[in-house]
Structure 1
């Protein structure tokens, strides 16, 4: 009887089920291809280096933040503070460059510290988020809401609410520089995506992240240091936000604590959701997050290029998130 049951041919899958599984697993890639095909057919001057450059440079900061957000969501958490941490990082760097914190004996030392210290400070705040969540059992949405509110206030206090204008070519290479014609920020984005994807798939820490998000209690019983894993992913999220803050101010040659990173937490979460990472945790795709961010950016570009108001992009973004969640439900049921 056992042999007969093994030999029995499986019932043919319905075409609709196969299509649903395809969309659930590769929906981001399919969506991106369809958007590109639409623009090739209907958007003037879509095939140009300028168009590619505009879309990649505008999406780079979102992807950098979304990489850290992907790891946080993979553990079953959320990080609402990333926009405010961008503001803190972006507020500190000009103060260092202009010597308003400490006088610097050499300009290159100021540039080096402006690259390193703001990112480390943002990472420390990210670790603080993880500490609140693991030490005091505070829900991630509540714990990160603290810095979502207070973080931007900290940035405004540090700068006295003033716009900080600076010009430093050595520092601004992170936002305006090019290597072999490719924007440096895009290169940083791709390196970060590749490194995070490798870490998630090939390292013990990556497997621990997915285990914690899949079943925290089982992970704890299996000997995984759950608290340590969560603190590290929030630390990484903070570091990513700090780096993105530097990219943004380098592009603008100015830092405004009121505007840097404003709404970035929503863009990052949207990119993660559209990219196929389960919002409940336990399954994640860094490359999917990259595709999700590209889709969101390309939808906005497509609407603007075809004469649709920018406000419609917000509605389209909301629709994409709803579609992504619906596809995730189908994926969990397969």
Structure 2
């Protein structure tokens, strides 16, 4: 007589809820915020409110996607806000130069390309410091966190730089099918990075380095080049976000552009599922995290809560996300 296999024991109900929360907590939080605002917050369902939130989310999401790649390798980048300020400060200066005045079309191209090249240079600096000189990422990027915004303020003499260029402003005020251009741009970047992470050797090395850098090195992976690459991508995306902010306002304020963006980007990446120890790069999760961060900020401000409380809420969100990550190890 054969003994039949007994059915596997079902995990306790509490464990089932934990697993469900870990996998879908971000989506549930987003739905809760949307429902709350639809019921409580005045004018939330108006198109103008949608456009404002998409504009704000797009810049956070773009930077958060770059931050996600850096975190996936086990690193961190504190300089993204300063890179935004630096790239944003260069654009108006180009418009005010002889090139921008004499050749407006060429000036627009230069006002996009040159600031992005400056951002790439910042990424190279961070990458070399981390991958070649083996400086701790938090220290290496702290250098540009401190100096980058200072350089931007020196370039602009600490003054607000205004300009009028409809072609450049399209980056921040243009619409496609009725929705803000930067929202479509963020989505296109997400698709491109998702393909890179899931379909290319570079993406596989990113995850391998975050999972076990020594093993990736012993397996012959180009660890240094990949780590430099993720910092370059992160900085380039931060520079692009800085240009979008400048394009929205038709002005550059080096003291405010990208201020505290590093906190929003890290929070969005972590809430979106990036593991601080590395090994995961949920690109679309970064967009989900950015939506949650922006909606929390909007919900508090729209309901009369002071901006300082929004900072506390962001810290609480990061703490909750880290707690969930720690419970995954149990």
Fold-level similarity (TM above 0.5): yes
For structure 1, list consecutive stretches of 5 or more residues without a partner in the other structure: none
Q: Which residue of 2 aligns with 1:281?
A: 278
**Would the alpha carbon gap of residues 91 and 123 (structure 1) be closer, same or farther in structure 2, given more than 3 Å must change?**
same
Q: 1:214 aligns with which of 211, 216, 219?
A: 211
Q: Is the 8 A contact 2:61 2:186 kept in 1?
A: yes
SS at match of 1:112: helix
Report how many aligned residue pairs link the two structures. Answer: 329
Cα distance between partner residues in 1 of 2:28 and 2:154? 45
Q: Which residue of 2 aligns with 1:111?
A: 108
4+ aligned runs moved over 3 Å, structure 1: 102-105
Q: Which residue of 2 aligns with 1:97?
A: 95
Q: 2:39 aligns with which of 35, 38, 41?
A: 41
Q: TM-score, normalised by structure 2?
A: 0.95
Deviations 1:202-221 (CA, angstroms, capped at 9, x unpaired): 22211110110010001111
Q: Which residue of 2 aligns with 1:248?
A: 245
Higher mean displacement: 40-49 or 121-130: 40-49
SS at match of 1:278: coil
Q: 2:319 aligns with which of 293, 305, 322?
A: 322
Q: 1:300 aligns with which of 291, 297, 305?
A: 297
Q: Is the 8 A contact 1:25 1:331 kept in 2?
A: no
Q: Which residue of 2 aligns with 1:71?
A: 69
Equivalences for residues 126-137 of structure 1 within 5 A: 126-137=123-134
Equivalences for residues 177-216 of structure 1 within 5 A: 177-216=174-213
| Alpha-carbon offset, residue 68 of structure 1 | 0.6
| Alpha-carbon offset, residue 137 of structure 1 | 0.9
Q: Which residue of 2 aligns with 1:88?
A: 86
Deviations 1:37-92 (CA, angstroms, capped at 9, x unpaired): 22233223322212211211111111111111010000000001111111110111
Higher mean displacement: 10-19 or 166-175: 10-19
SS at match of 1:83: helix
Deviations 1:93-114 (CA, angstroms, capped at 9, x unpaired): 11111216x5664210010111
Q: Aligned pair 1:229/2:229, yes or no? A: no
Q: Is the 8 A contact 2:100 2:106 kept in 1?
A: no
Q: 1:157 aligns with which of 144, 148, 154?
A: 154
SS at match of 1:111: helix
Q: Is the 8 A contact 2:88 2:242 kept in 1?
A: yes
SS at match of 2:306: coil
Cα distance between partner residues in 2 of 1:318 and 1:159? 32
Cα distance between partner residues in 2 of 1:201 and 1:157? 41
Q: Aligned pair 1:147/2:147, yes or no? A: no
Deviations 1:255-306 (CA, angstroms, capped at 9, x unpaired): 1211111111111111111111101111121111111111111112222233
Q: Aligned pair 1:263/2:231, yes or no? A: no
SS at match of 1:128: helix
SS at match of 1:319: helix
**Would the alpha carbon gap of residues 223 and 320 (structure 1) be closer, same or farther in structure 2, given more than 3 Å must change?**
same
Higher mean displacement: 299-308 or 29-38: 299-308
Equivalences for residues 159-178 of structure 1 within 5 A: 159-178=156-175
For structure 2, list consecutive stretches of 5 or more residues without a partner in the other structure: none
Q: Which residue of 1 aligns with 2:119?
A: 122
**Would the alpha carbon gap of residues 229 and 54 (structure 1) be closer, same or farther in structure 2, given more than 3 Å must change?**
same
